[in-house]
Amino acid sequence: MSVPVTLYTRRGCETCPLVKDYLERRGVAYRERDVAEDPTAADELRRINAPGVPVIVVGKEAVLGFDKIRLDDLLKSHGVKIGEPA
Protein backbone atom coordinates (compact mmCIF):
# COMPACT_ATOMS: atom_id res chain seq x y z
CA MET A 1 0.00 0.00 0.00
CA SER A 2 1.34 3.40 -0.96
CA VAL A 3 1.70 6.27 1.44
CA PRO A 4 -0.40 9.37 0.79
CA VAL A 5 1.08 12.13 -1.34
CA THR A 6 -0.28 15.63 -0.80
CA LEU A 7 0.57 18.66 -2.92
CA TYR A 8 -0.04 22.06 -1.32
CA THR A 9 -0.68 24.76 -3.90
CA ARG A 10 -2.33 28.13 -4.34
CA ARG A 11 -3.82 29.88 -7.32
CA GLY A 12 -1.25 32.05 -9.08
CA CYS A 13 1.72 29.87 -8.10
CA GLU A 14 3.91 29.58 -11.19
CA THR A 15 5.70 26.42 -10.06
CA CYS A 16 2.66 24.49 -8.82
CA PRO A 17 1.43 23.46 -12.31
CA LEU A 18 4.93 22.17 -13.08
CA VAL A 19 4.86 19.93 -10.01
CA LYS A 20 1.36 18.69 -10.86
CA ASP A 21 2.43 17.89 -14.41
CA TYR A 22 5.56 16.12 -13.18
CA LEU A 23 3.63 13.94 -10.73
CA GLU A 24 0.98 13.12 -13.33
CA ARG A 25 3.56 12.21 -16.00
CA ARG A 26 5.26 9.92 -13.46
CA GLY A 27 1.92 8.26 -12.59
CA VAL A 28 1.96 9.38 -8.95
CA ALA A 29 -1.46 9.69 -7.33
CA TYR A 30 -1.70 12.77 -5.13
CA ARG A 31 -4.20 14.96 -3.33
CA GLU A 32 -4.06 18.67 -4.10
CA ARG A 33 -4.75 21.16 -1.31
CA ASP A 34 -5.14 24.85 -2.24
CA VAL A 35 -3.99 26.85 0.79
CA ALA A 36 -5.77 30.00 -0.41
CA GLU A 37 -9.13 28.24 -0.64
CA ASP A 38 -8.87 25.81 2.26
CA PRO A 39 -8.12 27.19 5.75
CA THR A 40 -7.36 23.71 7.06
CA ALA A 41 -4.75 23.22 4.34
CA ALA A 42 -3.24 26.61 5.21
CA ASP A 43 -2.99 25.52 8.86
CA GLU A 44 -1.32 22.27 7.83
CA LEU A 45 1.21 24.21 5.76
CA ARG A 46 1.99 26.47 8.74
CA ARG A 47 2.61 23.40 10.93
CA ILE A 48 5.14 22.21 8.34
CA ASN A 49 6.86 25.61 8.67
CA ALA A 50 6.92 26.00 4.90
CA PRO A 51 7.63 29.51 3.64
CA GLY A 52 5.32 29.04 0.65
CA VAL A 53 4.14 26.64 -2.00
CA PRO A 54 4.58 24.23 -3.64
CA VAL A 55 5.06 21.72 -0.85
CA ILE A 56 4.80 18.00 -1.47
CA VAL A 57 4.22 15.75 1.54
CA VAL A 58 4.97 12.07 1.14
CA GLY A 59 3.77 10.18 4.18
CA LYS A 60 4.96 12.53 6.93
CA GLU A 61 7.98 14.01 5.13
CA ALA A 62 7.87 17.25 3.15
CA VAL A 63 9.67 18.54 0.09
CA LEU A 64 9.68 22.32 0.03
CA GLY A 65 9.66 23.70 -3.49
CA PHE A 66 10.12 21.66 -6.65
CA ASP A 67 13.21 19.57 -5.96
CA LYS A 68 12.88 16.68 -8.44
CA ILE A 69 15.77 14.65 -7.04
CA ARG A 70 14.60 14.94 -3.42
CA LEU A 71 11.00 14.24 -4.47
CA ASP A 72 11.92 11.12 -6.47
CA ASP A 73 14.14 9.83 -3.65
CA LEU A 74 11.40 10.37 -1.08
CA LEU A 75 8.74 8.71 -3.24
CA LYS A 76 10.98 5.70 -3.87
CA SER A 77 11.96 5.39 -0.20
CA HIS A 78 8.26 5.21 0.70
CA GLY A 79 7.55 2.56 -1.91
CA VAL A 80 5.59 4.83 -4.24
CA LYS A 81 5.83 3.44 -7.75
CA ILE A 82 6.90 6.11 -10.21
CA GLY A 83 7.20 5.83 -13.95
CA GLU A 84 9.73 7.46 -16.19
CA PRO A 85 8.78 11.02 -17.19
CA ALA A 86 6.93 11.13 -20.49
User: Is 85 part of any domain?
Assistant: no
Query: Would you state the pLDDT for residue 1?
Result: 47
Q: Which residue type sits at 72?
A: D
Q: Is residue 82 part of a domain?
A: no
Cα–Cα dist 75/59, whole Å? 9
Q: Answer for the pair 50, 63: CB distance below 8 angstroms, yes or no.
A: no
User: What is the value of pTM for the model shown?
Assistant: 0.91
**What is the number of structural domains in the chain?**
1
pLDDT in tens, 10-28: 999 999 999 999 999 999 9
Domain range for 18: 5-77
Strand order in the sheet with 61-64: 31-34, 5-9, 55-58, 61-64
Residue 80 to residues 7, 20, 23, 50, 54, Cα–Cα distance (Å): 15, 16, 11, 23, 19
Question: Among 2-6, 14-18, 33-37, 57-61, which stretch is predicted with the lowest mean pLDDT?
Answer: 2-6
Whether residue 35 lies inside any domain: the answer is: yes
pLDDT at 23: 96
Mean pLDDT for all residues in the chain: 92
Which residue(s) pair with 64 in the sheet?
55
Asked whether residue 83 is domain-assigned, the answer is: no
